[in-house]
Amino acid sequence: MVRRIVFLGTPEASVPPLHALHEAGFDIPLVVTRADTRRRRRGGAEPSPVKAAALELGIEVSHDVDDALAVGADLGVVVAFGQIIKPHVIEALAMVNIHLSLLPRWRGAAPVERAILAGDPITGVCLMEVAEGLDTGGVYCRAETPIDPRETAGELRDRLVTMGTEVLVEALSNGLGPSESQDGEPSWAHKITTADLALDWERPAVELHRIVRLGNAHTEFRGGRFKIWNAHLLDTDDADPGRLMVVEGGVRVATGSGALDLIEVQPAGKARMAASAWANGAQPSTDDRLGP
């Protein structure tokens, strides 16, 4: 039975599993996370969200993965750690990882975002064993959930973290049992780049809406960077992709198929704002359009 755990994690998404394991009564002698980072020009170094949470719980923190081998743990639990775990550590200490996809689909750094971009109808979480290959370990258990076509990447990630936390605690409380090899052709969740978030108005509205749901989707307006933070799909026909239309106080942009109703935008050098407020100030004309 697993009782003594080393926890390895870094971002805010790693905090709920840490809290849940602590509340479930598991002994966590050590948390491993990245070193403090200097986030502001003249500010001091800031701890990762996991380090801050661990210190509040009175748990010792290290920035060296090798220290996981020195506390007599039964298991390492990895949640969005963000660092390479060297083979000698994996060989010496069994580890499990919460992965936010239904493996072998979307192995890699951005499974939530890639599932949305691909239009996957379902996704889920896997509790898997950590192996040397990228997300190649056997799976102990999994849980599925539908993806709401209006759901943002942040909303979906939060739901999956909650699901993964429940799966983790239940599995460790009842005993892991044997893992099963991943079955099927893998797909790869490469890190999202700025190019992935660029809006090409020749593409169908349904595809552009998926990009908007990731956050930081961008285009151009009057030569400046223009971000679209929220939009609704419209089933309309317009033969002029990128054309802006102000209709009954709303702002619509035509695409290769259908249109987007802009809800929240961010012009260059300004804060996020309602699209209607932006349109009132910018007064887009019939000659204005989005895109280069």
Distance CA 107, CA 22 (A): 28
CB 198 within 8 A of CB 214: no
* pLDDT tens, residue by residue, 212-245: 999 999 999 999 999 999 999 998 877 799 999 9
Q: Which domain holds residue 110?
A: 4-189
Residues 196, 194, 153, 85, Cα dihedral to 10°: 100
Structure tokens at 237: 């026909």
Please list, in sequence order, all residues whose beta carbon lies within 8 angstroms of the beta carbon of residue 82, skipping any fewer than 6 positions away.
10, 11, 34
For residues 237-258, average pLDDT: 88
In this predicted structure, what is the pLDDT of residue 3? 87
Q: Does the pLDDT value for residue 145 go beyond 80?
A: yes
For residues 107-128, average pLDDT: 97
For residues 202-216, average pLDDT: 97
Please list, in sequence order, all residues whose beta carbon lies within 8 angstroms of the beta carbon of residue 262, skipping any fewer than 6 positions away.
228, 230, 231, 250, 251, 252, 253, 275
Place of tokens 């002029």: 240
Domain boundary among 154, 189, 224: 189
| Parallel, antiparallel or unpaired: strands 122-129 and 95-99 | antiparallel
Domain membership of residue 50 (yes or no) is yes
For residues 178-187, average pLDDT: 96
Q: Same structural domain for residues 156 and 74?
A: yes
Domain membership of residue 290 (yes or no) is no
Percentages (nearest 5) of helix, strand, coil residues in the chain? 30, 30, 40
Model confidence band, residue 97 (pLDDT cutoffs 50, 70, 90): very high
Over the chain, what is the mean pLDDT?
Answer: 94
Domain membership of residue 209 (yes or no) is yes
Q: Same structural domain for residues 85 and 226?
A: no
Q: Same structural domain for residues 182 and 214?
A: no
Distance CA 35, CA 79 (A): 16
Which DSSP symbol is given to 242?
A: T
* pLDDT tens, residue by residue, 7-60: 999 999 999 999 999 999 999 999 999 998 876 666 678 999 999 999 999 999
Q: Same structural domain for residues 216 and 74?
A: no
Q: Same structural domain for residues 184 and 228?
A: no
In this predicted structure, what is the pLDDT of residue 45? 82
Say which range, 100-114, 172-186, 235-249, has the weakest mean pLDDT.
Answer: 235-249
User: ω before 104 within 30° of 0 (cis)?
Assistant: yes
Model confidence band, residue 124 (pLDDT cutoffs 50, 70, 90): very high
Say which range, 3-17, 53-67, 133-147, 235-249, has the weakest mean pLDDT.
Answer: 235-249
Residue 87 amino acid letter = P
Distance CA 105, CA 135 (A): 10
Q: Same structural domain for residues 119 and 222?
A: no
Q: Does the pLDDT value for residue 249 go beyond 80?
A: no
Q: Same structural domain for residues 52 and 173?
A: yes
Q: Same structural domain for residues 185 and 213?
A: no
Please give the tally of structural domains in the chain.
Answer: 2
